[in-house]
Structure 1
Amino acid sequence: MGSSTVVVIGAGQAGCQIASSLREEGFTGRIVLVGAEAHLPYQRPPLSKGHLTGKASRDALWLRPASWFEEQSIEMRTSTRVTHLDTGDRRVLLQNGEALTYDDLVLATGARNRRLRLEGADLEGVLSLRTLDEADEVKARLEQAARVVVVGGGFIGLEVAATAVRLGKHATVVEVADQIMGRVLSGHTAAFLLRAHRARGLEIELTTMVSRIAGVAGRVAAVDTTDGRRFPADLVLVGVGANPNVELAEQAGIELDDGIVVDELLRTSAPHVYAVGDCACAPNPFAGGRRMRLESVQNATAQGRRLAATLAGRPEPFSSVPWFWSDQADIKLQIAGLTTGHTEVVVKGDANSERFSAYCFSQKRLLGVESVNRPADHMAARRLLSGSTSLSPQDVRRDNFDIKRASTGSAPVAP
């Protein structure tokens, strides 16, 4: 391990985790971390919440200080883009003409926000939020805006909209589907969030499609919808999903399918090339083994740790329980497992008190648990899903059901 070189393309959560975990695994070879942004690796979750309000300081965003990269002998290349990948000669070409040779290459290229292909999408004041620079612009414009329209009712859109309301702005979310966060949440939890946000002053328009964005003198003025309504706006945030950054892999002839296809060891179709994080489409045991791409800090971190162990000589299939969280206003939403495709939901707790957990089942098999303001339930659900204890809807419906006991295997289950 002492003489080999690992090059990591992408300096986000996954890329930084790879570099960190390689050193923790005892890897003493050369590590080069290549990032397109000018910044050191940073946390993304605070960008749509605390960073916008000023509660999260800029210094608290960095995953590691600059001195750490020097101490760990990790070559950190910021403001650097890779222009070509040659898997035959095992080298990558940088925009400055430099060639980096590697023994193993990790693609941690992440994803980029989808753009609206509508009239007015390029007006001043129409923004998206994924990077720190984008968050800085949203923050600056949000301070001056009176009316905010968010296109898309997903994680980022709702977090920013809720933050805008807390800052005293008039905020409206326009969502084309018939529920918010429809790709990841059960109908029960989505309906609760809809009521909770509206009660806090956020306007949410479902089954509403944007037809164009109107402007005055090159600056955004309103969002028009296909049903003839107009929502005035000083700031429009677009949050309609993301596409994986696969251009380098595509150029190199690496297999793609909604991301860079990898196996259970996170290997791509090219020898000595791996992929992790938002760009990787990996087999997931919590989705019946089918390949899928997960956009989450947990997935990026867990895959980074697992791949570092593999590169250090301890290969094991990746099988971490997926989990997600979202802080929206004073609501903490946490999801353990993958609840899409569920056919039955059992709720424990009281939605009126804004503290409950929704257990999502398919064919009597627990897929995942959605928890609102019940972090202990969430932690227990992660333990439960990672173990061998089976749980039925009947078990959860019992008056004396305790997920903490169930997660340790000590709770009785129905015959």
Structure 2
Amino acid sequence: MTNKQKETTVIVGGGHAAGALLTTLLQKNYQQEVVLVGEEPHPPYQRPPLSKDYLAGEVDQASLYLKPCSVYENSGHQLRLGVRAKEIDRDNKTITLSDHGTLQYDRLVLATGSQVRRLNAPGADLKGIHYLHDIADSDALHEELVPGKRLVIVGGGYIGLEVAASAIKKGVHVTVLEAAERLMQRVTGPEISAFFYDKHRSAGVDVRLNTAVTGFEAGDQGHVAGVTLGEGSTIPADTVLVSIGIIPETALAEAAGLPCDDGIIVDEFTRTEDPAILAIGDCTQHRNLFFTNRQRLESVANAVDQARTAAATLMGEEKPYDSVPWFWSNQYDVRLQMVGLSQNHDQRVIRGSPLDKAFAVFYLRKGCVIAVDAINLPIAFMVGKALVRQHKKISPELLKDPDIELKSLVSSPQTSS
């Protein structure tokens, strides 16, 4: 009598989603062989510190790793690092790798993440123009953040502002150029945008809104020397960071014929159209029982939660993904915590005051709380998670009354008047 041969599960990707999935499978004592294919030479690691602590040199590279390499080695699972998955043959269930090798799979999980959105403008290929997506990018930018140098950041979103906060503390002269009329306009309301605008300005960052970038000027030896603006002027620069968003990495899936639409389309169990292939993380356009429509979310929380759902699916468990989305950003001494999606709100309620550096904005639609942004107010974030999940209808007067404990609103039957 022979033992049944183990099946092979291949994970393509080396980011937070891939690492969280592999870690969860280890915890669940997954009996199948697992092979993780990662294009970078590093084991799965967390990316948020790349624009904050790691960029500032306050933590080392090993601290980024989700697990020490020894954990994977001792588990019996394989890490194929520094290798790119080039092609998927769904009929034969094989993957062609960049080192000319092939892998056979029984189950495949695509955690391919994203790529940075690049700025197509004259001079965009000059030396000294950076994008921030991986450890190598952060290392290269770190080398140039020298006191007295001039850094120009194109883009006023999370990453750009986090880098601005890290750089200004190192004595770098920082200018942030944002094309929209306010910072972080895509993800938050005007009160939070105004708070961070004031915070960065008071720290010495030159923040310019409604400012379009049309190109870059060259200096000595092909190095960037300036950023050209739409109105014709030029801002001197020693270093430039372009941070204008990301694009889901779907090329591998598309070439294999999997349906994609601003992400690899998956259901609430992280399954693609092919029953043998799952997909998780930034690369997915996914079903979530919490939302009516498919969503693509760019967050660590989504990566981890989808990884847990994928692990359950691989183990034969039916556990649909229904997590409330949440996000965070650390800038200076400020911790921004966000839950829900504030788009399409029809009312905003402020609890506390921006002047106190601890306040929250509740976003309502038809009287129900759909999102909360909390500045140095973790209780508002925690309560907000419950209110958003419950689609709770709460009176604005109760939300902003400082004499009413936020915790009491979670179980309160009171609704809008």
TM-score range, shorter chain: over 0.9
Give the alignment's TM-score, normalised by structure 2.
0.95
Which of 118, 121, 128 aligns to 2:121? It is 118
Which of 126, 135, 138 aligns to 1:135? It is 138
Contact 1:145 1:234 in 2 (8 A): no
Q: 1:165 to 1:2 in 2, by over 3 A?
A: farther
How far apart, in 2, do the equivalents of 1:211 and 1:186 lie? Answer: 27
Contact 2:379 2:406 in 1 (8 A): no
How far apart, in 2, do the equivalents of 1:91 and 1:390 lie? Answer: 51
Q: 1:392 to 1:313 in 2, by over 3 A?
A: farther
Calculate the aligned-residue CA RMSD, in Å.
1.7
Give the CA deviation at 1:283. Answer: 2.2
For the pair 1:264 / 2:262, whether they are aligned, the reply is: no
Give the CA deviation at 1:268. Answer: 1.0
Q: What pairs with 1:280-295 in structure 2 (closer than 5 Å)?
A: 280-286=284-290, 288-295=291-298
Other structure's SS at 1:368 match? strand
Q: 1:233 to 1:381 in 2, by over 3 A?
A: same
Partner deviation per Cα, 1:371-395 (whole Å, 9 max, x = no partner): 0011222122223333465434343
Partner deviation per Cα, 1:143-167 (whole Å, 9 max, x = no partner): 2661110000001000001111111
How far apart, in 2, do the equivalents of 1:391 and 1:308 lie? Answer: 36
How far apart, in 2, do the equivalents of 1:140 and 1:177 lie? Answer: 30
Question: Alignment length, in residue pairs?
Answer: 413
Other structure's SS at 2:146 match? helix
Of stretches 151-160 and 334-343 in structure 1, the one that deviates more from structure 2 is 334-343
How far apart, in 2, do the equivalents of 1:406 and 1:31 lie? Answer: 45
How far apart, in 2, do the equivalents of 1:411 and 1:136 lie? Answer: 52
Which of 31, 56, 60 aligns to 2:59? It is 56
Q: Percent identity?
A: 38
Matched with 2:339 is 336
Matched with 1:362 is 365
Give the CA deviation at 1:37. Answer: 0.2
Structure 1 spans left out of the alignment, 5+ residues: none
Matched with 1:154 is 157
How far apart, in 2, do the equivalents of 1:139 and 1:374 lie? Answer: 31
Other structure's SS at 2:55 match? helix
How far apart, in 2, do the equivalents of 1:89 and 1:395 lie? Answer: 60
How far apart, in 1, do the equivalents of 2:54 and 2:350 lie? Answer: 33
How far apart, in 1, do the equivalents of 2:163 and 2:403 lie? Answer: 39
What is the identity, as a one-letter code, of the residue corresponding to 1:234?
D
How far apart, in 2, do the equivalents of 1:199 and 1:121 lie? Answer: 30
Contact 1:402 1:411 in 2 (8 A): no
Q: 1:2 to 1:354 in 2, by over 3 A?
A: farther
How far apart, in 2, do the equivalents of 1:392 and 1:93 lie? Answer: 57
Q: What pairs with 1:204-353 in structure 2 (closer than 5 Å)?
A: 204-217=207-220, 218-286=222-290, 288-353=291-356
Give the CA deviation at 1:410. Answer: 4.8
Other structure's SS at 2:278 match? strand
Structure 2 spans left out of the alignment, 5+ residues: none
Give the CA deviation at 1:405. Answer: 2.3
Give the alignment's TM-score, normalised by structure 1.
0.96
Give the CA deviation at 1:25. Answer: 2.2
How far apart, in 2, do the equivalents of 1:120 and 1:145 lie? Answer: 24
Give the CA deviation at 1:270. Answer: 1.9
Which of 60, 66, 70 aligns to 1:67? It is 70
How far apart, in 2, do the equivalents of 1:349 and 1:295 lie? Answer: 29
Contact 1:19 1:74 in 2 (8 A): no
Give the CA deviation at 1:229. Answer: 2.1
